[in-house]
Amino acid sequence: MTTALQKARTVLALTSNYAAAYAVKAADVDVVAVYPITPQTTIVEKIAEFVDDGELNAELIHVESEHSAMSAVVGAAAAGARVFTATSSQGLELMHEVLHIASGLRLPIVMAVPARALSAPISIHGDYSDVMNTRDTGWITYIAASAQEVYDTIIQAYKVAETVLLPAMVAYDGFLMSHTTEPVELNDEEEVRRFLPRKDRPNVLKPEKPITMGAFAMPDYYYEIKYQVQEALLGSLKVIEEVDREYGRTFGRSYGVLQTYRVEDADYIVVAYGGASFGNAREAVDAAREKGIKAGAVRLRVFRPFPADYIAKLLADVKAFAVVDRAIAFGGPAGGPVFAEVVTALWMRGIDTPGLSIVHGIGQRSMYVEDFVKIFEMLKDGEKSKVVYMGLRL
C-alpha cells in the first residue's frame, strides 16, 4: 500500500499567502468569507481562483467588512461547516469583537493572519501589533516562520481546532513572508483529507434538532463557561503536539511548539518569533560564537496556549536571556508582550534568570544580524532587567 510519504510530491514556488490558499484547498473547506486588506488579499484572491476553476467546492462569501467576515464564518461553523477566513492589521481589530464570540461558542474556525502594523499613523508594513492584541481572545495562535510551515500549520490547525473545539489562527510576517516566494512541498490532497476526516460535532445548528447558541448567561453560569474556554485552551497544547507528531509521521514534516538552535551548551539565549527575527537570530548565534560567546536561539511557534513549561526549562540554567518582540506592550513595564509572558512563566516556577526586553522591527523597521549579535554582547556584559528599543532613530 502506497503511503502519503511514498506518493509523488509536488513542489511549487509560492508566497506564504499562496501557501495558505493551497492548504485551504487541500483541507476541502466548505465556506470561505473574504474581504481584502493588505497584505492578506492575495490569500483570498487565490482561493477565489480555486473556487472559480472548480478546484475547491466551497461557498465563497463576499462581505462588506472584516467584522462581517468573522460573523459569516461563525454562522457557517455553527451550522457544522469547515470554514476559513483571513485578515491583517485594522481588519483583525475590526474582527476583535467577534473573536471572543468564536471562542465562547467553541467553534473550530481557522484563520490566516499575515501580521501587519496598526494605525495611526497608517503603515502597511509588517510587525506583530495586530496579533498580540488578540492574546486574550481564547484563540489558539501559531506563528509560522516559512511558507512551508504556513502550509503545514494551517492543515494541522484544522485537526487541532476540530478536536478541542476552539478557533485557531496561523500568523506569519506580513510582506517579509506573505509576499516573498519560497519552495513549498504540497501534500497529496486525498491524503490530507484522510488526515482531516469529517467529524460529527456536538452542538451544531440543525433544523431537525434545534438548539440555542449564544444565549444570555446570568452571573450563575457565565464564569464557568469562560473557565471552560481557558481549560480547553490550556489543554490544547497536548493536542497541538500530538497532531504535529502525527503530521510528521504522515507527511514527513513536523515543528514542535518551539524551534531551537544551538541551545544545548548556550550561556545566553535569544527568544524570537516569526521568520525574519528567528532567521537573523540564528545567523547571530553563529557570529557570536565566533566571538567566544556561547549563544543560542529559540523560536516561539505556538503563542497561545503559551508553552510556559518548555520555555522555563530552556531558560532555567542559562546565564541570561533576551526576548525580541516585534510589538509594543504600551504602558506596561515589560516593553514587549512576549517578554512579559516569558518572565511570568519563569517567576511562577521560581526561576530568576535575568533577562532583557528588546523591542525591534516595529513598522517593519529593518533588523540586521549585527543587531542580534549586539544583544548577545549586551547579555554577556551583564545588562539585564531593562527595556531596549533597538533601531530607533532618535
Assess if residue 375 is contained within a domain. yes
State the pLDDT at residue 1: 54
pTM over 0.95: yes
State the pLDDT at residue 7: 75
131 and 187 housed in the same domain: yes
109 and 246 housed in the same domain: yes
**Torsional class of 268: left (φ above 0), alpha (ψ -120 to 50), beta (otherwise):** beta
Number of domains in the chain: 2
At 5, the pLDDT band (50, 70, 90 cuts) reads confident
In the predicted model, what is the mean pLDDT of residues 166-179?
98
Assess if residue 266 is contained within a domain. yes
- CATH number where 217 lies: 3.40.50.970
In the predicted model, what is the mean pLDDT of residues 342-357?
98
Is it the case that residue 9 has pLDDT exceeding 90? no
240 and 264 housed in the same domain: no
Domain boundary among 235, 251, 267: 251
46 and 131 housed in the same domain: yes
The H-assigned helical ranges of 165-218 are: 189-195
pLDDT digits (tens, 9 = 90+) for 210-265: 999 989 999 999 999 999 999 999 999 999 999 999 999 999 999 999 999 999 99
240 and 204 housed in the same domain: yes
Domain boundary among 183, 216, 251: 251
d(CA 75, CA 80): 9
Is it the case that residue 184 has pLDDT exceeding 70? yes
The grid coordinates of residue 344 equal: 511570568
In the predicted model, what is the mean pLDDT of residues 338-351?
98
At 6, the pLDDT band (50, 70, 90 cuts) reads low
- CATH number where 359 lies: 3.40.50.920
State the pLDDT at residue 2: 65
State the pLDDT at residue 100: 98
Closest by CA to 130, choosing from 162, 172, 71, 161, is: 172
Q: What is the mean pLDDT of the chain?
A: 96
pLDDT digits (tens, 9 = 90+) for 132-169: 999 999 999 999 999 999 999 999 999 999 999 999 99
In the sheet where 386-389 sits, what is the strand order? Answer: 258-261, 295-300, 268-272, 320-325, 355-359, 386-389
Assess if residue 263 is contained within a domain. yes
46 and 183 housed in the same domain: yes
Assess if residue 394 is contained within a domain. no
200 and 277 housed in the same domain: no
State the pLDDT at residue 3: 73
d(CA 91, CA 41): 11
80 and 222 housed in the same domain: yes
Of 2-6, 26-30, 164-168, the range with the lowest mean pLDDT is 2-6
Look up the domain containing 93 and give its range: 10-251
Assess if residue 309 is contained within a domain. yes
168 and 212 housed in the same domain: yes
Assess if residue 298 is contained within a domain. yes
CA distances from 356 to 63, 234, 266 (A): 44, 27, 16
In the predicted model, what is the mean pLDDT of residues 179-186?
98
185 and 269 housed in the same domain: no
Assess if residue 49 is contained within a domain. yes
202 and 310 housed in the same domain: no
Q: Is residue 324 classed as helix, strand or coil in its secondary structure?
A: strand
The grid coordinates of residue 100 equal: 471572543
Assess if residue 3 is contained within a domain. no
State the pLDDT at residue 8: 67
Domain boundary among 251, 267, 292: 251
267 and 233 housed in the same domain: no
